[in-house]
Structure 1
Amino acid sequence: MYLNCHTYYSLRYGTIKPEQLLAIASENGVQTLALTDINSTSACLDVMRLSKKYQIKPVLGVDFRNGVQQQFILIAKNNQGFQHINTYLSKFLHNQNLQIPERPDEDLEDCFVIYPYQNDKHFDLKPNEFLGITPQDLNRLKFSKWNQFKHKLVVLKTVSFQNKKGFNTHRLLRAIDNNTLLSKLPKSEEGNETDQMLPYNDLCETYAEFPKLISNTEALLDHCTVQFDLENAEPKNQKCLTENEVSDYELLRQLTYDGIPYRYGNDVDQKVYDRIEKELDIIKQKNFVSYFLINWKILEYARSKNYYYVGRGSGANSIIAYLLRITDVDPIELDLYFERFINLFRQNPPDFDIDFSWRDRDDVTKYIFNTFKHTALIAVYNTFKFRASIRELGKVFGLPKTEIDKLTRGKYTIYQLDKLSQLVIKYSKYIEGFPNYLGIHAGGILISEKPIHYYCATFMPPKGFATTQFDMVTAEDIGLYKFDILSQRGLGKIKEAVEIIDANYTDQAPIDIHDIKGFKTDERIKDLLRNAKAIGCFYVESPAMRMLLKKLQVDNYLGLVAASSIIRPGVAKSGMMREYILRYRYPEKRKEAHPVLQKIMPETYGIMVYQEDVIKVAHLFGGLDLGESDMLRRGMSGKFRSREEFLKVKQKFFDNCERDGKPQDLVANIWRQVESFAGYAFAKGHSASYAVESYQSLFLKAYYPLEYMTATINNFGGFYDTELYVHEARMHNGIIEAPCINQSYTEAIIKGKTIYLGFMFLQSLEAKTIQRILNERQLNGAFESLHDFIERVPISIEQISILIKINAFRFTKINKRELLWEAHLKISKTVLKEEHISLFKTERIHYNTPELPSSELENAFDSIELLGFSLCNPFNLLEKPSISNLRAKHLIQLKNKLIRIEGYLITIKNTKTTNGKIMHFGTFLDRDGDFLDTVHFPPVAAKYPFRGKGIYEIIGKVMMEFDCVTIEVSKLERLAIIEDPRYSEKATRPLHFLPKRKETLEAVLDTTISSL
């Protein structure tokens, strides 16, 4: 009876969650309803999956609207009709300039079309077309010519809200969507408050005078049946890469055996052949052959284009993936747990995450869309977050900015707020989690056997690739498993560094960056790992990883593989990171492991470190079968956590342990570990893939640090800002030069030990300006003077001012203040037009400019403004010269001492204690450029907050754990810097430098601790 039901996927309109809609229908005795979200099919498959629970037959369709103006409703008679609806809707979602017409302009015979009642319009209705009569239309219908055509009339009772609160929420969402005050929201932008579901009998009573409408509606719904197998979701990905499944399997087998010489040479262990046959057999049984071949096909293309990539994910546990060169991890070498990769109980295929350089990924994506017929990106639901909702609703209610800021910071007591502010908080909590708009999954791509529109409509984001209207969880429910084509800057750094090195070192053999076996035994790389000197290196450069490497004293591949997973939040949260470090460093501590866990995980001393460990513990300790164990692992994060099937598996774990007589305390403790990190740990193969890339970057850092830092800078760094990578290059004796008109290019370049920063790093310098400079320089050679530059390059005064301020014309030996004066005299402020070639050069007037001195200080502040950081030592900008000689290298001898030291802030990690209080971990550089690591517990964090970038005086106690030094901060103060000379009379003030002092530890102590 309900032909027009909306969920909250009618974005910024509906307010009912999909399952809530079914629950409301069940309560009201409704057995069939049509889900017709506004221009959306996001909720359709989820409602289909949940409908059995509520014993409701769902019918699928779409409410086609221009804004809120309803044009018509399409309802699918069958699966083919649903596909046609999705295709038709996608036409409008792909082209925002297209308006939805009053009547469908395509033949949609396998759909029902329902038009809203309009008393003054009359047109011929096709057999599958009807007119919808709302309760408000009933009185007018009695006197309408449509009363003579009752066989073409149906009940149209819209459902958008559950109750009055839902309607109020709807009005707020409409105000947000219209970017207007609630008081100014036009009624035409709202639905009707009565758009709520009535009990079935009440609805029949409402239309009692027109029984024909009720029978027409019921007949229409009876003719609709859309079915998807959501209980046994066999893979719906493209079935074959070749002509059929038989030839697919033959190809997979051939490729596998052809890959053996490349990976293992001629001396092959029998284990390899046994593992191959075991995997091939299960891959065939589970119909995953095409999944492997499609990944192989994509990567074959990538290799043909010389694109670097890393294959990771659970698929790295597969020897087939290794031999097909999908991954670079040898599962035999690492004894990777086969059942984590694939088992007969597992419904979804193994997960391949393929990382490409950010420069290459779009081309690979384009290749996939051009090669495979039914392809789409996967959407993500970007939802309303609590604080963002407060800001949006604050504007809707007309609250001043100061009040909104106060509410977003949580600086209030709810009962002391005025009524409007209380409403903001109340409804912000209510809409938290509502979908706001659709985005794009980080890298998920569907390659389907059937057209994507068989399952949902697609929209066209700016990226230019068709994207589904549902997320990856819904895709998996129906058996569409994603191919992850991801972007990673680390690969761009490696590729560019190798290119720079090969170009600069033509007298040596090209680098084999894939010589991982050689890297694993390289002493220079081991030294970098042991001492955590890995800035710029993939996954091992963050403060937390740097400290972990020191604590573990890692200098080998397996140790790095473990560290890559231990650093994940789950292991740390469970308290097992510290326990692992203890057992790693002190063998006697390994005896404390429970015998059962020690037997299950001997390599990690009885501690769960990898995702495989969850499966092992669930299977071997908790008595779950492998399918249930994998469900447990997958269910630890996201939407699965609340699913009934996951909760049943959890209960079975406890029931099995109780049946086997395992101590309750032990079971509870193990479950706590499982629950705390299973969704946040890596698969061992995944960690191993990361470690391979880490070794590649470590090799480049060990042997070619300046070339590698140049590539890192050009790929926009990694964990840190560009400034730190510039600093790191300087620490390796690099000479850093600001952009130069005659030397620089768009990106940074290296000549010998000198790195010239690229023009792209200059804020506000336009790309077209950069291109003009480079084109002219290439055609006619270097520029001889500012005058020569102005003659040859059309440029505005604003753009040339940027270049002069960064001292890009320093080759002229003329003070930049004088150059700015000259530029202003010679360049008009009128709108710049492209210069045309002429036969004669117009002689420009030359002016005598006054002598205007500038200083190193001005250069420092100009570089801060234009680059975002100073090219001089930031300590040289302190208002008062430093009086402390204490450095990071001294701290190891000052354990438990109270010290005062100065540090330049690099990064802050904010976290919360178990009771919800904010604390910080800080990373600073001392004057020598070495790292200082600080801990700021909640009382100190509250009393001495960070106040932005700069140099801080740090007072605190030196703490040491596992050879890792930190400062437990008791006081923090940001130090003043010199007044900007560009806006003062102190323009020629020289930079001051720290006077030379005795470097003995005694001298340092004299100037620090004694003064405290």
Structure 2
Amino acid sequence: MQNDDYAGAMRAAGWYGEIFGREGFFLELADHGLDDELKVNHGLLSLARELNLGIVATNDSHYLDHSDHRAHEVLLCIQTGKTLADPDRMRFPSDQFYFKSPQEMGKTFEELPQALAASVEIARRCRLDLELDPLGGKLPAYPVPEGHGGESEYLRELVRSKLPERRPEYGGNGFNRANRAERATPPANRATPLAKPLVSIEENGDEYGARLAEELNIIEAMRFPGFFLIVWDIIHQARQMGVEVGPGRGSAAGSLVAYVLGITDIDPIEYGLLFERFLNPERVNLPDFDLDFADDQRERVIEYVKRKYGEANVAQLITFSRLGARAVIRDVGRVLGVPLEAVDRVAKLVPFGPGVTLAGALETTPELKLIQREDPLIAEVLGYGRSLEGLVRHAGTHAAGVVLSDHPLDEMVPMYTGNTTQYDGSSVEKVGLLKIDFLGLKNLSVIRDCLELVYRRHGKRIRPEDIATDDPKTYELLKRCDTAGVFQLESEIARDVLRRVAPDNFRELIPVLSLFRPGPLGSGMTETYIKGKHGTTPISYPHPSLEGVLAETFGVMVYQEQVMQVASTLGGFTYGRADLLRRAMAKKTGELDSFREEFIRGAVGKGMDAKLAAQVFDQIIPFASYGFNKSHSAAYAVVTYRTAWLKANYRPEFMAALLSHELSDEDRIAFYLGQCRHDGLEILPPDLHRSSTHFTVEESNGGTAIRFGLGAIKNVGLGAVGEMIAEREKNGPFASLKDLALRLGTQQVNKRVLESLVKSGSVDCLPGTRSQKYAAVESILETAAAEQRDMQMGQESLFGGKTGEKPADPLDSNLEPWNEHEKMRGEKETLGIYLSGHPLTCHRAVIERFATTDLARVQRLQGGESLRVAGVFTQITRKLD
């Protein structure tokens, strides 16, 4: 129609009318104030009359209100990388592309009321109510081995067979005797929506048998045996493949079934973890299993899952990156042409952290509000920023989320590129698909590699799960905050809390991982806990009956599970109901009033005064907002302890493994090497003939040293390093740089690689000084390339001369060696640190006289102390007013 082809438009409209029926095909009219639309609309109305077709009035809506059109232009510039001043930028032809009100649409199409009515009719016809099964109706079936019954029977069989591995007292047929299907009375604080009676428990206080019975029956009632079997199989297979598996994450650590099956590695009964925090029989939702694997082995596990359940049935989740408060300031500032320095200064005034908004930042940051008031351009940036904040910037693949189905996923959900779902995590759960987070945890890789170094050096084969949690050396290390490299305890805030808590045992370590979070710190919970632990203030409880619940945390409700236990102890709630209360308190939902009445009724029923019960309920609410998941804290404390234990008992091996997993982070390597030196560990330079890709441990001068890994040298690359080591191990040491270039090829060993090897000191083992070898690099590469070409033509032997003769480098004997400062500059450039010396060595006497500490010790000092340090400025950042 726009091209004046009325006959063609009529043929197309007639064809669609025949296909969809005259009642099911409409001609769309739109009016955004464009001249072309007037012509098109006139033609469409003529077609509708001639062909007896319906018409419908619409408006192409890209933003909500008319006032948003300018912000939409800014958003388009962010998307396309343009500025508003760019005449060639993408732009819409008018400002009418917004969601118009019924009154506005009525005015625009006042002569065509039937077109407006048609939009309502189409919406009515398109209404679709989907029946979703959020309880995993689309879970893949676990392939139970033949002869083992169904999923429920096989899960029980696995639990029975593996319980003695966790609790040796259940060996023989002790648990089998307790597995008779006789009804048992459940504890008062546990609900009983069970598919079958609880397993019979012997009259001997069999706590583990009773807990397993309750969990298994709830799992069966909620139709999740297959889910547990799938997760067990993934963990079991990962271990069979030699993949390091974490001890647990999140609320799953509260399941005894998960512990017995080896899915988690912390006993929930021993540490008071609640199953209902993980799987609540009174709340319809899929359990949330988050699995930690060594970060460099995670993909192997995902590939196994694809092979097991079918490539088409497994995909990764999409994730949406949104415009956050700081990012949107930088994006809008660029679009408006605001100088980068000014934009950066404003962005840094926005508090850092999750949930921070520009509106909130303007309320809490006076300086930001002042700039907004005094600088019109910054005010414009903030105005557009508030309009665009929170919008999706781009889509990507979720770092951990994997979804499984019993059918090809493209039949269940819309798919995105790269075998990724278009639904995010919460959406796939709503349609009943199984989501599991496969997370890569670097610390697990460090633990694995450290234990391998321990085995090579000491002949001791230690498994992570065999590390006892009662080692005095470990708690001494934690108390002195020697936690560089220790999981979760490296930050300044975490170390400060750790120092003040000073844990004496594993139970006291668990809350440390909760207490350094912003909520407990800001609410005063952390301070109250610390004072209670050290006896500087008396411990009090909201009610005497809660001492058993709160004694371990000195009267403070540190954990979400404690909120649930309080509701159960005082209010008579089941743990499932208490979990719903906890959620309502944390989110301040409208259900809180009804829960309050229920709590008071339950407490009164237990003999408590109603007024006191109301006071206790009100005291609980703040704790519910700040409380941390104890199951998660306990599981992660296991990783924390294991890293601390390795550092306390095998420091050289631990630091070498830690450094090996920071190869690409120059700052972290420099920091950890500084810690090593402070601890008396010698750092040996990289050596082409002795170094591995990673950092290793050697004996040196009667002590222990760490050898720098070739993989940490800048501009060399892991590919080239791997080829060097493989060639060295296969055909022996290299005779010269030319020998290296000939044997590996000048594509793999180029100019940047050779120069970096020279500057770093890695080829000091080869003839010549660093200056001679550096000057000869170009000549070496030219002759090596020529000889390689000749070799390919069959004109020379591999080494270019007589048989067995090793190629030598063309070294200039008249060239002066680099002085110490030149050598150190090259090391700093390629290694990130000084190895052969330090620029301040010549000032040692002055430093020892005036400096009170060094940078490695600064982290371990208490706040408020005065200090003097000596150092070298490596970078200057200018702060503009």
Q: What range is the shorter-chain TM-score in?
A: 0.7 to 0.9
Matches of 2:422 and 2:785 in 1, distance apart?
45
Q: What corresponds to 1:234 in structure 2?
A: 135
Q: How does 1:789-828 map to 2 (within 5 A)?
A: 789-793=740-744, 794=746, 795-812=749-766, 814-828=768-782
Q: 1:325 aligns with which of 262, 271, 277?
A: 262
Matched with 2:66 is 164
Q: Secondary structure at the match of 2:338?
A: coil
- Deviation (angstroms), 1:562: 2.8
Could you tell me how far apart the structure 1 residues matched to 2:68 and 2:870 are?
49
Q: Deviations over 1:527-548 (max 9, x none)?
A: 4344444433333444444444
Tell me which amino acid in the other structure corresponds to 2:647.
K
| Residues 181, 397 of structure 1: 8 Å contact kept | yes
Change (3 A) 1:281 1:771: closer
C-alpha displacement of 1:376: 3.0
Residue 267 (structure 1) shift: 4.5
> Aligned pair in 2 of structure 1 residues 665, 272: CA closer, same or farther (>3 Å)?
closer
Aligned residue in 2 for 1:961? none
Quick check: which one's strand share is greater?
1
Partner secondary structure for residue 223 of structure 2: coil
For the pair 1:736 / 2:656, whether they are aligned, the reply is: no
Given the alignment, which residue of 586, 604, 618 partners 2:553? 604
Task: Indicate whether 1:340 and 2:277 are aligned.
Answer: yes
Match in the other structure for 1:488: 441
Deviation at 1:490, TM superposition (A): 0.9
Equivalents in 1 of 2:646, 2:453: separation in Å?
Answer: 11
Residues 438 and 469 in structure 1, CA contact (< 8 A), matched pair in contact too: no
Structure of higher RCO (CA pairs closer than 8 Å, 6+ residues apart):
2
Report the AA paired with residue 688 of structure 1: A
Cα displacement (A) at 1:388: 1.9
Q: Residue in 1 aligned with 2:175?
A: none
Number of the residue aligned with 1:501: 454
Match of 1:615 among 546, 564, 575: 564
Counterpart selection for 1:570 from 519, 522, 536: 519
User: Do the aligned partners of residues 665 and 830 (structure 1) sit closer, same or farther apart at CA in structure 2, a change above 3 Å counting?
Assistant: farther
Q: Match for 2:622: what amino acid?
A: R
Does residue 1:388 correspond to 2:321, yes or no?
no
Q: Is the 8 A contact 2:485 2:658 kept in 1?
A: yes
Residue pair 2:563, 2:623 contacting (<8 A) in 1 also = no
Q: Is residue 2:642 matched to residue 1:696?
A: yes
Matching of residue 966 in structure 1 with residue 869 in structure 2: no
Structure 2 vs 1, CA of residues 161 and 332 (structure 1 numbering), >3 Å: closer, same or farther?
A: closer
Q: Which amino acid aligns with 1:486?
A: L
1:133 to 29, 33, 38: 29
Instruction: Show CA shifts across 1:646-683 (max 9, x none).
Output: 511334455567783138776555422332x13xx232
Q: How far 1:806 sits from its partner (Å)?
A: 0.8
Give the alignment's TM-score, normalised by structure 1. 0.69
Secondary structure, counterpart of 1:590 in structure 2: coil
User: Does residue 597 of structure 2 align to residue 661 of structure 1?
Assistant: no
Aligned counterpart in structure 2 of residue 301 of structure 1, from 237, 258, 283: 237
Partner of 2:362: none
Shift of the alpha carbon at 1:280?
Answer: 0.8
What is aligned with 1:365?
302
SS at match of 1:741: coil
* Distance (whole Å) between structure 2 residues aligned to residue 824 and residue 971 of structure 1: 49
Give the conservation status (yes or no) of the 8 Å contact 2:685–2:762: yes
SS of the residue corresponding to residue 333 of structure 1 reads coil
Structure 1 gap segments, 5+ residues each: 1-69, 71-116, 887-899, 905-924, 934-964, 980-1012
What's the secondary structure of 2:288's corresponding residue?
coil
Instruction: Say which SS state the counterpart of residue 846 (structure 2) adopts.
Output: coil
Match of 1:674 among 624, 646, 649: 624
Deviation, structure 1 residue 833: 11
For residues 241 and 719 of structure 1, the distance between their equivalents in structure 2, rounded to whole angstroms, comes to: 46
Alpha-carbon distance between aligned partners in 2 of 1:765 and 1:388, rounded to the nearest angstrom: 33
Larger relative helix fraction: 2
The unaligned stretches of length 5 or more in structure 2 are: 3-7, 172-204, 350-366, 602-609, 802-807, 876-881
Q: After the TM superposition, which residues 391-470 of structure 1 pair with which residues of structure 2 at under 5 Å, given as runs? A: 391-410=330-349, 413-414=370-371, 417=374, 419-449=376-406, 452-453=409-410, 456-460=413-417, 464=418, 466-470=419-423
* Alpha-carbon distance in structure 2 between the residues aligned to 1:967 and 1:215: 70
Q: Aligned partner of 2:686: which letter?
A: P
Indicate if the aligned counterparts of 1:628 and 1:649 stay in contact, CA closer than 8 A: no
**Whole-angstrom distance in 2 between the partners of 1:256 and 1:784:** 61
Deviation at 1:621, TM superposition (A): 5.1
Whole-angstrom distance in 1 between the partners of 2:465 and 2:43:
82
Kept in 2: contact 1:821–1:849 (CA 8 A): no
1:690 is aligned with what amino acid? Y
Give the SS at the match of 1:864. Answer: helix
Supply the distance in 2 between the matched residues of 1:133 and 1:488 (Cα, whole angstroms). 55
Q: Report the alpha carbon displacement of residue 246 of structure 1 after superposing the two structures with TM.
A: 7.5
* Conservation of the 8 A alpha-carbon contact between 1:151 and 1:212: no
Match of residue 907 from structure 1:
none
Residue identity matched to 1:334? Y
Tell me: CA distance 1:719–1:477, structure 2 relative to 1, closer, same or farther (3 Å): farther
> How many corresponding residue pairs?
777
**Superposition deviation, residue 307 in structure 1:** 1.0
SS at match of 2:715: coil
**Aligned ranges 1:13-412 → 2 under 5 Å:** 124-125=15-16, 126-127=19-20, 131-135=27-31, 137=37, 139-143=39-43, 146-147=47-48, 148-151=50-53, 153-184=55-86, 189-190=91-92, 192-200=94-102, 203=105, 206-207=108-109, 213=115, 217-229=119-131, 233-238=134-139, 240-242=141-143, 247-267=150-170, 270-310=206-246, 311-373=248-310, 374-410=313-349
Partner of 2:824: 860
Does the 8 Å contact 2:824/2:837 carry over to 1? Answer: no
- Matching residue's letter, 2:384: Y
Aligned-partner SS, 1:241: coil
Deviation at 1:326, TM superposition (A): 0.4
Identity over aligned residues, as a percent? 25
Distance 1:129 1:821 in 2: 78
Match of 2:633 in 1: 687
Measure the CA separation in 1 of the matches of 2:754 and 2:376: 55
One-letter amino acid of the counterpart of residue 425, structure 2: M
CA distance in 2 between partners of 1:832 and 1:547 (Å): 61
Q: Report the Cα distance in structure 2 between the residues aligned to 1:719 and 1:696, rounded to whole angstroms.
A: 25
Match of 1:747 among 694, 703, 712: 694
Q: Is the 8 A contact 1:329 1:688 kept in 2?
A: yes
Write the letter of the residue equivalent to 1:227: D
What do you get for the CA RMSD once the two structures are aligned?
3.9
CA distances 1:397-433 after superposition (whole Å, capped 9, x unpaired): 2333344344434577446656444322211122111
Question: Which amino acid letter does the alignment assign opposite residue 741 of structure 1?
Answer: L
Letter in 2 for 1:431: L
1:872-924 alpha-carbon deviations (Å, 9 max, x no partner): 676835868534458xxxxxxxxxxxxx72432xxxxxxxxxxxxxxxxxxxx
Partner Cα distance (1:119, 1:362) in 2: 55
Distance 1:205 1:253, change over 3 A: same
Measure the CA separation in 2 of the matches of 1:420 and 1:470: 39
Give the CA deviation at 1:167.
Answer: 1.7
Counterpart secondary structure, 1:486 = strand
Distance 1:415 1:496, change over 3 A: closer
2:732 aligned with 1:781: yes
Cα pair 2:691 2:708 within 8 Å, conserved: yes
The one-letter amino acid of 1:537's match is V
- State the secondary structure of the residue aligned to 1:334: coil
Give distance in 2, aligned partners of 1:468 and 1:783: 51
TM-score (norm 2): 0.79
Q: Secondary structure at the match of 2:672?
A: helix
CA apart distance, 1:178: 1.7
Q: Using the alignment, how far apart are the partners of 1:828 and 1:579 within structure 2?
A: 71
Tell me the alpha carbon deviations over residues 512-561 of structure 1, each in whole angstroms, 9 at most, x when there is no partner: 33214xx2234443443444444333334444444444433323222222
1:316·1:327 contact (CA, 8 Å) conserved in 2? Answer: yes
Residue pair 1:389, 1:428 contacting (<8 A) in 2 also: yes
